[in-house]
């Protein structure tokens, strides 16, 4: 049986790993000359069978192979009851909670990519910006769904109707990859090519509020007549291979930093947990947030004793940010409040842009590794309610320099 597979190659260096093994620079733990190699990731989709996979395993340039999987936006979650005010005196509560109001940094000189459903480039939140857009879905540039406009507004949106919505409003260059179509769906090929494109465009930060759709893949196979156990097994194999492929891509991007500033990739942990139904109903962070080298983000809400974990937020994120009652840009104009780790992720991406501005002005290595270290080291737990589990909120709430 033939299937569509994403093939990741490093055109700048040979490798001997198998296609379904964790791709790394050859012997990263023992080899010290990685910085001497020209790292050149390349992703293509091929129709492959078992014989093709065997041949790929012996191709020295192939780092990983994975079946193409469906992806989808991380759907905002409606919450009943009081979610707290979305604004506080001319700014959103999230902008204040991450310390952006008190920071001298604005994101000036930093490029940020948002991989989502596109963006409403005519929205006043993006007035005066240089928006570099590319559509990977075939639906054309622009955001008819609304998710991408909202997340981009939180990262670098300008003031709208007297309200500051953006964490890093000094960012002038936004790199907008439309990797989800107008219905909020896509596939792993679109996403992987979007990540590569954003890095090639010089993005300092990549923000991704989306996930791999494992249940959707299994349902599709079952609808095609596959037995449930076979469909589940095949879906699990595809998910595992895609995790390894994303690990390999992140590894290549990290090695590429030897030749430039590198790229921080930030992703939402997912909204599948249901703590409001059962405290033990917790789902771990999903792909791509679960990939090695990706900064995974959980969602926080305002509470009487401090910030609390949102009931839907997947567990084991690295860091957390406001994700409930987040006010940001609405497609067509104006503002809208949404809930989700999708809303938390761009807060972290925006703060990463602020840290990039600070690092670029200091006499320290101007690399993604340096910025990521600052981002995680300066996370704060002081404002988080004492009963919030460390596994649910990571190192704490992200904080601006």
For 135-166, write each residue's pLDDT tens digit: 999 999 999 999 999 999 999 999 999 999 99
Parallel, antiparallel, or unpaired for β 185-187 and 70-73? Answer: antiparallel
Q: Annotated catalytic residue: which of 10, 15, 111, 116?
A: 116
Please give the residue that has the higher pLDDT: either 13 or 326.
326
- Residue 328 pLDDT: 97
Q: How confident is the model at residue 356 (pLDDT cuts 50, 70, 90)?
A: very high
Q: Please indicate whether residue 181 is annotated as part of the active site.
A: no
The residue among 202 and 15 whose pLDDT is bigger is 202
pLDDT recorded at residue 366? 86
Q: What is the pLDDT of residue 86?
A: 72
Question: What is the rounded distance in angstroms from the CA atom of residue 127 to the CA atom of residue 381?
Answer: 35
pLDDT at 190 > cutoff 90: yes
> Mean pLDDT over residues 103-121, rounded?
98
Give residue 394's pLDDT.
Answer: 96
Continuous segment of H or E residues that includes residue 97: helix 93-97
* pLDDT on residue 24: 45
Residue 323 contacts residue 398 (beta carbons within 8 Å):
no
d(CA 239, CA 234): 9
Q: What is the pLDDT of residue 27?
A: 40
Give the max Cα distance, the chain.
63
Which of left, alpha, beta for 396 (phi over 0: left; psi -120 to 50: alpha)?
A: left
Task: Kindly name the residue from 147, 150, 261, 347 that is annotated as catalytic.
Answer: 147
Of 261, 286, 342, 347, catalytic: 342
Q: Nearest CA to 152 among 316, 353, 295, 291? A: 353
Please indicate whether residue 147 is annotated as part of the active site: yes
pLDDT value of position 21: 54
* pTM, 2 dp: 0.91
> What integer pLDDT is reported at residue 19 of this predicted model?
53
20 — pLDDT class (breaks 50, 70, 90): low
Say yes or no to pLDDT of 288 above 70. yes
Rounded-to-integer distance, Cα 80 and Cα 266, Å = 28
Q: Which element (helix H / strand E) includes 130?
A: strand 130-135
Residue 244: C-alpha distances to residues 29, 170, 221 (Å): 18, 35, 22
Low-confidence winner among 20-34, 157-171, 344-358, 364-378 (lowest mean pLDDT): 20-34
- Asked whether residue 15 carries a pLDDT value surpassing 50, the answer given is no
- Concerning whether 269 is annotated as a catalytic residue, the answer is no
Structure confidence by residue, pLDDT tens digits, 228-252 = 999 999 999 999 999 999 999 999 9
What distance, in Å, lies between the first and last C-alpha atoms of the chain? 53
Q: Are the CB atoms for 122 and 148 separated by under 8 Å?
A: no
For residue 11, what pLDDT is reported? 86
The chain-wide mean pLDDT, for the chain, equals 91
Q: Are the C-beta atoms of 307 and 381 separated by less than 8 Å?
A: no
In this predicted structure, what is the pLDDT of residue 309? 95
pLDDT over 60 (residue 37)? no
Interval 53-70: pLDDT, tens: 999 988 999 999 999 999
- Under the banding of pLDDT at 50, 70 and 90, the label for residue 278 is very high
Confidence of residue 365 (pLDDT cuts 50, 70, 90): confident
Averaged over 45-53, what is the pLDDT? 92
**What is the arithmetic mean of pLDDT over 317-342?**
96
């Amino acid at each position: 049986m033939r299937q569509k597979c994403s093939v990741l190659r490093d055109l700048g260096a040979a490798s001997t790993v198998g296609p379904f093994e964790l791709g790394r620079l050859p012997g990263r733990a023992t080899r010290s000359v990685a910085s001497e190699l020209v790292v050149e990731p390349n992703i293509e989709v091929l129709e492959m069978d078992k014989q093709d996979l065997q041949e790929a395993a012996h191709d020295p340039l192939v780092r990983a192979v994975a079946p193409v999987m469906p992806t989808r936006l991380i759907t905002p979650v409606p919450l009943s009851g009081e979610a707290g005010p979305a604004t506080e005196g001319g700014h959103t509560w999230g902008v204040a909670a991450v310390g952006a109001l008190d920071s001298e940094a604005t994101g000036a000189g930093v490029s940020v990519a948002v991989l989502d459903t596109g963006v409403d480039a005519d929205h006043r939140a993006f007035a005066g910006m240089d928006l570099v857009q590319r559509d990977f879905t075939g639906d054309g540039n622009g955001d008819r769904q609304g998710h991408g406009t909202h997340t981009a507004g939180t990262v670098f949106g300008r003031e709208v109707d007297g309200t500051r919505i953006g964490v890093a409003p000094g960012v002038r260059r936004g790199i907008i990859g439309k990797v989800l179509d107008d219905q909020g769906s896509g596939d792993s090929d679109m996403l992987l090519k979007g990540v590569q494109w954003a890095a090639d465009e010089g993005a300092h930060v990549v923000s991704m509020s989306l996930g791999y759709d494992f249940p959707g893949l299994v349902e599709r196979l079952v609808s095609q007549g596959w037995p449930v156990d076979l469909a589940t097994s095949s879906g699990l194999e595809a998910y595992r291979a895609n995790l390894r492929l994303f690990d390999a891509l992140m590894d290549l991007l990290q090695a590429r930093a030897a030749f430039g500033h590198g790229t921080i990739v930030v992703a939402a942990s997912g909204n599948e947990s249901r703590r409001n139904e059962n405290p033990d109903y917790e789902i771990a962070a999903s792909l791509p947030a679960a990939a090695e080298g990706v900064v995974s983000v959980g969602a926080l809400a305002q509470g009487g004793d401090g910030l609390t974990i949102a009931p839907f937020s997947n567990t084991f994120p690295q860091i957390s940010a406001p994700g409930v009652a987040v006010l940001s840009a609405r497609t067509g104009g104006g503002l809208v409040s949404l809930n989700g780790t999708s809303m938390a992720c761009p807060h972290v991406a925006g703060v990463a842009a602020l840290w990039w501005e600070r690092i670029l002005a200091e006499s320290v290595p101007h690399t993604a590794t340096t910025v990521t270290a600052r981002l995680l080291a300066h996370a704060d737990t002081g404002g988080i309610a004492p009963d919030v589990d460390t596994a649910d909120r990571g190192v704490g709430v992200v904080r601006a320099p």
